[in-house]
Chain A
Amino acid sequence: MIAILTKYYYDILVGVGYTMLVAVIGTLVGLLIGILIGIYRTLPLPKNKFLRVLKRAGDYLLRAYIEVFRGTPMMVQAMVIFWGFALLNGGRTLNVTVSGLIIVSINTGAYMAEIVRGGIISIDKGQFEGCHAIGLTHSQTMFNVVMPQALRNILPSVTNEFIVNIKDTSVLNVIGFTELFFVAKDIVLDTFKTFETYLLAAIVYFILTFGISLLLRLVERKMDGNKNFRILGSQNLDAESFAREARSEK
């Protein structure tokens, strides 16, 4: 195994690079898609009849997107999108890396949309009412109070998706995307050391996923902030001495 590593370390690194490229960008873009859809789907129904119909139509379209991309294997989606594009463009295929990024992004987006929506509806109704009671609009409420809490709460699920993506980019080898699994297959063809090569691949995959898992746990802890807080000086500070306190703390 060491021999494989020393001989093919460069190819493995390239594979890791492509795998992580697609996983990172796919997860981030997917999360962005999910946030936008989650926010749209939790919009209050407008009073205006026409807008209400429009909103409902949007809901159905997004539901269809979510159900289709959650309900079919990513490997099949990859084939359909890659070759579908080629068909529409007179046989010219899209760049494999770009295809991979698009496929993973919209596939992840379908899952993220439901994760984000779940995060938003799990926020206590009182948080919304607290905002509305001081005159905040719906968008101000979402941006300042609801989304920060919802995003914190869904972070474990986002980590899940991220890890799934690192592993599932391996299905992109069906369109010839050179990720880690593709590299491993090539090495096997070269060396015929099937077991050792795939064991090595497994170890590398695990290091990647475990690393991401630890990293996002760190982010979670960072978002939770300090458990302690300092009680400032006396019980009743006036504005000026508060400012002084705040300055001296820095």
Chain B
Amino acid sequence: MKNNLTPDTPRAENRVQNDCRAVISVQHLGKTFGDNVVLKDIDFDVFSGDVTCIIGPSGSGKSTLLRCINLFEEPTCGKILFHGGDITQTKHPDRYRQKVGMVFQSFNLFDNLNVLSNCTLGPRKVLKMSKSDAEQLAMRNLAAVGMSAYVKAKPRQLSGGQKQRVAIARALCMSPEVLLFDEPTSALDPEMVGEVLNVMRSLAQQGLTMIIVTHEMSFAREVSTRVVFMDDGVIVEQGAPEDIFNRPSEQRTREFLARVL
């Protein structure tokens, strides 16, 4: 695969050495919808192999933050550095998104295509793979999520958990550097949550860099390497999962965890 994503600005020089290794570095990010301030001065880094879980109450801006990282929302201010280059001003968000995939709460599988074509569309059209190469790649990823028996099915014939597993396989087919998950289990029956979390767990074990917005606290505690707690558009606290969950230093984090745990 050709790397044709050229950073639009040179690496920020005032950053400490350490930060240059960050795959994604969000700096002073702000987002407003009209008068409504959704994100304020968001700052955090994601390193290769990190599994970052973003937790917090509904309406705290978690999903908006994730959508900013994927450029689905245009940040009002601040920067998002990808390997040191600011991508908020890029003219080719599609090239950036080849490397930073996304899994949605509502799956967003292509309703007109079967499971296999859902997975081969990106590799064929974006990565210009041959049909047979793309199909082999798709089959490998569908096998990884346990969905290879359903290649011929259309999305409407699948259950929610199955759809989400296909959506993960579809994202994996682009061999992304980072995969974003926007509440991937929130639209699922309790029974189906497990199968999707299992897939995500195994991806984490394989060292895929992931940013996950989730309400599954036990999953976040078990799988993540970093936890970010957000409330009211700001990052209240971030750190290792055992610190956030066992020894939260902020009152607001304690209150939130007391409600959901």
Given contacts A129-B72, A130-B104, contact A237 B148 (CB under 8 A): yes
CB proximity to A under 8 Å, residues B95-134:
95, 97-98, 101-102, 104, 106-114, 121-122, 125-126
Among B93, B139, B170, chain A packs the most CB atoms within 10 A around the CB of B139
Given contacts A133-B171, A135-B174, contact A126 B106 (CB under 8 A): yes
CB proximity to B under 8 Å, residues A135-182:
135-137, 140, 144-145, 148-149, 152
Tell whether, in the assembled complex, residue A236 and residue B143 are in contact, meaning their CB atoms are under 8 Å apart. Answer: yes
A242 interfacial by beta-carbon distance below 8 Å: yes
Given contacts A130-B110, A229-B152, contact A136 B102 (CB under 8 A): no
B136 interfacial by beta-carbon distance below 8 Å: yes
A217 interfacial by beta-carbon distance below 8 Å: no
CB proximity to A under 8 Å, residues B154-182:
154, 157, 167, 170-171, 173-174
Residue-wise, chain A 107-146 has the 8 Å CB interface mask toward B (1 for contact) of 0000000000000000010110111111111001000110
Q: Per a CB cutoff under 8 Å, which of A132, A148, A243 touches B97? A: A132
Q: A239 — which chain B residues lie within 8 A by C-beta? A: 135-136, 139-140
B8 interfacial by beta-carbon distance below 8 Å: no
Chain B residues within 8 Å of chain A by Cβ, number = 42
Tell whether, in the assembled complex, residue B171 and residue A232 are in contact, meaning their CB atoms are under 8 Å apart. Answer: no
A225 interfacial by beta-carbon distance below 8 Å: yes
Complexed CA–CA distance, A133 and B180 (Å) = 10
Tell whether, in the assembled complex, residue A133 and residue B150 are in contact, meaning their CB atoms are under 8 Å apart. Answer: no
A89 interfacial by beta-carbon distance below 8 Å: no
CB proximity to A under 8 Å, residues B69-88:
70, 72
Chain A residues within 8 Å of chain B by Cβ, number = 32
Complexed CA–CA distance, A230 and B149 (Å) = 8
Point out residues on B near A: beta carbons under 8 Å: 70, 72, 93-95, 97-98, 101-102, 104, 106-114, 121-122, 125-126, 135-136, 139-140, 143, 146, 148-154, 157, 167, 170-171, 173-174
A–B complex contacts, Cβ < 8 Å, 17 sampled:
A126-B108, A132-B97, A133-B97, A133-B102, A135-B97, A136-B122, A137-B94, A140-B126, A144-B113, A144-B125, A145-B110, A229-B152, A231-B149, A232-B150, A232-B151, A232-B152, A238-B140
